[in-house]
Amino acid sequence: MARQVFYKRGAVRVAAVLLVIAIVIQWRSSAGSAGSGAVLQPAHAEGPAATPAPTEAPVATAAPAPEDDAAAYLTEVQCIGGKRPPWTRSCRFKNLYWLGEGFATVRLRGKPLPEHFLNLGPKRAFGADPYWEPQHLEFDNAQEVKEYFAARNVVRKEGPSLVFNTIWAAVNVGHGMFDGLYPAFTAAFDHGLAEEPIRMIPGDVSGQMGRAGAAYCEGLCANFCLPAEELCDVGKAIKAIAIGGEFLPLCAIPERHPGEVLLFEDVVAGSGERAQRAVYPEAAIYEGRDGVMEHFRDRLFQGFGVQLKKRQKGDVVKALVISNKRYSPEEIAEIQAAIAELDGKDNFSVQWIEWPQYPGLPRQFELLSDADIYLSGPGTGLLNHMYMREGSVLVNVGEIRSRLNNRFPSFIEQYIAEGTPYQRALYYPSNKRMHGIKGEEISKLLLQAKGIVEQGFKVPVPPLENLSVEGKIFSLYCTENEEEGQDMLDHMNGNSAFGWDRCTDDGWLESVVYEAGGWQLESQLHDGVHCTLNRERLKKLRDRYEGQLGWVEG
* Secondary structure of 174-227 as H, E, C letters: HHHHHHHHHHHHHHHHHCCCCCCCCEEEECCCCCHHHCCCCCCCCCCCCCCCCC
Q: Is 27 helix (H, G, I), strand (E, B) or coil?
A: coil
Kindly list the domain boundaries of the chain, sorted by start residue.
Answer: 1-12+75-93+106-278, 306-468, 471-544
Q: Does domain 306-468 have CATH number 3.40.50.2300?
A: yes
Asked whether the predicted pLDDT for residue 206 surpasses 80, the reply is no
Q: Give ∠ CA 222-206-500 in degrees, rounded to 5.
A: 175
pLDDT in tens, 508-517: 999 999 999 8
Provide the b/e sequence for 213-223 (b: ≥16 CB within 10 Å): ebbbbbebebe
483's CB contacts (< 8 A; 6+ apart) are: none
Res 538: pLDDT: 97
- 320-324, 406-410, 459-463, 539-543: segment of lowest average pLDDT: 406-410
Tell me how far apart the alpha carbons of residues 136 and 55 are, in angstroms, rounded to a whole number. 27
Asked whether the predicted pLDDT for residue 215 surpasses 90, the reply is no
**For residue 185, which of 86, 291, 265 has the smallest C-alpha distance?**
291
Strand intervals (E) in 357-427? 373-376, 392-396, 399-403, 406-410, 423-427
Q: Are 260 and 146 in contact (CB under 8 A)?
A: no
Percent of the chain with pLDDT over 90: 59
Average pLDDT in the 344-373 region?
95
Q: Is residue 15 very low, low, confident or very high in pLDDT (cuts 50, 70, 90)?
A: very low
Q: Are 287 and 420 in contact (CB under 8 A)?
A: no
Q: Is residue 69 very low, low, confident or very high in pLDDT (cuts 50, 70, 90)?
A: confident
User: Which of 83-97, 167-181, 236-250, 436-450 reaches the highest mean pLDDT?
Assistant: 436-450
CA 223 to chain centre: 26
Res 211: pLDDT: 41
Res 44: pLDDT: 44
Tell me how far apart the alpha carbons of residues 137 and 118 are, in angstroms, rounded to a whole number. 18
Res 262: pLDDT: 97
Half-sphere exposure of 181 (CA within 13 A, CB side): 27
Tell me how far apart the alpha carbons of residues 527 and 360 are, in angstroms, rounded to a whole number. 47
Q: Are 492 and 512 in contact (CB under 8 A)?
A: yes
Q: Left if phi > 0, otherwise alpha if psi is -120 to 50, otherwise beta: which for 294?
A: alpha
More confident residue, 179 or 171: 179
Q: Are 203 and 164 in contact (CB under 8 A)?
A: yes
Q: Are 514 and 550 in contact (CB under 8 A)?
A: yes
Tell me how far apart the alpha carbons of residues 390 and 314 are, in angstroms, rounded to a whole number. 16
Contacts 24+ apart (CB under 8 A), 48-51: 48/151, 49/150, 49/151, 49/152, 49/153, 49/154, 50/152, 50/153, 50/259, 50/260, 51/153
pTM, two decimal places: 0.85
